[in-house]
Amino acid sequence: MMRHFLLGKIHRAVVTRADLDYIGSITIDPLLIEAAGFLENEKVDIYDVTNGSRISTYVIPGIPGSGEVGINGAAAHLVQKGDLVIIANYGWMTEAESETNAPKVVFVDDRNRITERRTQERTPVCMDAFGAV
């Protein structure tokens, strides 16, 4: 059975603009796109840490090195300039494939400059003193 698993995310980026009149999407600095393993036009989910809203859209590249994270189109009603967001992509894989999946996690500062890159390894199963899960 195919299941949906996290592939990568940009953690707590600052929205640099929200353009209601743009035709849709999220514009992201290509340095962040590459670091998180996103592809142009790929579907991403956006989780607004500031207000709790969640939306799905697709990625378009901005200007390299700009730190841009721009919310475009109708989503600008839900996500505003200055909001903190988590941007994530997911992929379908089998459970066996998921065992070697190591999502890329990109941490940024308040100007959306990369401060740290990690891979999110699978959490080992914890057992109690009797060996039960």
Kindly report, residue by residue over 43-99, the tens digit of the pLDDT: 999 999 999 999 999 999 999 999 999 999 999 999 999 999 999 999 999 999 999
Active site residues: 25, 58
Q: Is the Cβ–Cβ distance between 83 and 52 less than 8 Å?
A: no
Sequence-distant (6+) residues with CB within 8 A of 132 are none
Q: Could you give the percent of the chain with pLDDT greater than 90? A: 88
Read off the tokens for 4.
């949906």
For 2-119, CATH number? 2.40.40.20
Q: What is the pLDDT of residue 127?
A: 56
SS3 content of the chain, % helix, strand, coil (to 5): 10, 45, 45
pTM: 0.90
CA distances 18 to 53, 79, 85, 107, Å, are: 14, 7, 13, 21
**To the nearest whole number, what is the mean pLDDT of the chain?**
94
